[in-house]
Amino acid sequence: MTEWKEYSIHINQEAEDSVSELLIELGSTGVSVIDRKDFETMPEYGFDSLWELDEDKFPSEGVVIKGYFPLEALHSDLEKTLHQRLEKLKDHDLGVKNYTVESTILRDSDWNDKWKEFYQSVPITRYLTIVPEWEEYTKRQEDEKLIVMDPGLAFGTGTHPTTQLSVQALEIVLKGNETVLDVGTGSGVLTIASALLGAKEIYAFDLDDIAVQSAKNNINLNKLSAKITVKENNLLKNVTINADVVVANILAPIILELIPDAMRVLKPGGTFISSGIIKEQEEEILIGLKNEGFKVQQVNQIKDWIVVIAQKPLNE
């Protein structure tokens, strides 16, 4: 079993890059940074996950930078060298006055289990709850549906506002027996939600082959592989499936690129659900949709994020 030495350096923010580079230079296999700004903004951007963040683990001032060194290859004077190099940072224009260094031993089993502490089951709508696959969960009501997820590959597992908005939109749109295309599926959470909400067949696409495997793993956890096909693909390029619903929770510039193909594959009267859009990008997305011929049905918002539900006209 591999053992690691973790060094945690609490220092001012201006020194973050220099300390990170120093740890890598000294042989760290990786670096992580704990910044209070992450605690304050994590729900707003970049993560789609079941994080239950502990405020006490985030420094009130400065940052905590962690480096990881294999214990079997640890140089005997590493700690001494680390302190010497940190002291030298005081001579540079980085505002370094005080810092602390702590260390601990980690084992492979610690890596495998520790991150699970930060995940818990989360209801994302009245009828749908995301549950980590290792958690024993009891339904709160008989009609509650569970999306079982393994978030280990970090492709998104459910509670970022854009995912909540997308699932809520799917609840509005899906009536049963639809063909759904999920573009940029990531962990497959919207694909699984579509199946649980009654879609007949779902096709999920992602450009990242690891995301494709992550989605397949989660679909299998939910025993839905018979209804869902997952493929590696660049958006909807060369896709010829006629769909009732296209859903895409990605970035606004990519949604703009996707709009013509969404119009092409949708049946007349079909629905395009797009999210991953911050409020400031709303007008640009609405213009792009209207220019392509979509009729905007709803724009819903959580915090600074929006989802747009748009319909292809019946006479197209």
Angle, CA of 173, 305 and 189, to the nearest 5°: 55
* Together in a domain, 162 and 255: yes
Ramachandran area for residue 261 (φ above 0: left; ψ -120 to 50: alpha; else beta): alpha
Q: What is the pLDDT of residues 108-133, one digit of tens each?
A: 656 556 556 556 788 888 889 988 88
Determine the structural domain holding residue 160 and report its residue range.
120-311
Report yes or no on 316 lying in a domain.
no
- CATH (domain of 214): 3.40.50.150
Res 161: pLDDT? 82
* Together in a domain, 95 and 230: no
Q: Percent of the chain beyond pLDDT 70? A: 85
Phi–psi pair at 205, nearest 5 degrees: -130, 145
User: Does the pTM of the predicted model rise above 0.85?
Assistant: no
Phi–psi pair at 212, nearest 5 degrees: -60, -45
Q: Of 76, 98, 116, which marks where a domain is finished?
A: 116
Count of domains in the chain? Answer: 2
Cβ-count burial 270-284 (b if 16+ within 10 Å, e if not): bbbbbbbbeeebeee
d(CA 214, CA 173): 26
- The answer to whether residues 307 and 274 touch, using CB atoms and an 8 Å cutoff, is yes
Report yes or no on 305 lying in a domain.
yes
Q: What is the pLDDT of residues 201-222, one digit of tens each?
A: 999 999 888 788 889 999 999 9
pLDDT averaged over every residue in the chain: 86
Q: Catalogue the E-assigned strands of the chain.
A: 3-11, 31-35, 63-70, 100-107, 122-123, 128-132, 145-149, 179-183, 201-206, 228-232, 243-249, 266-278, 295-302, 305-311
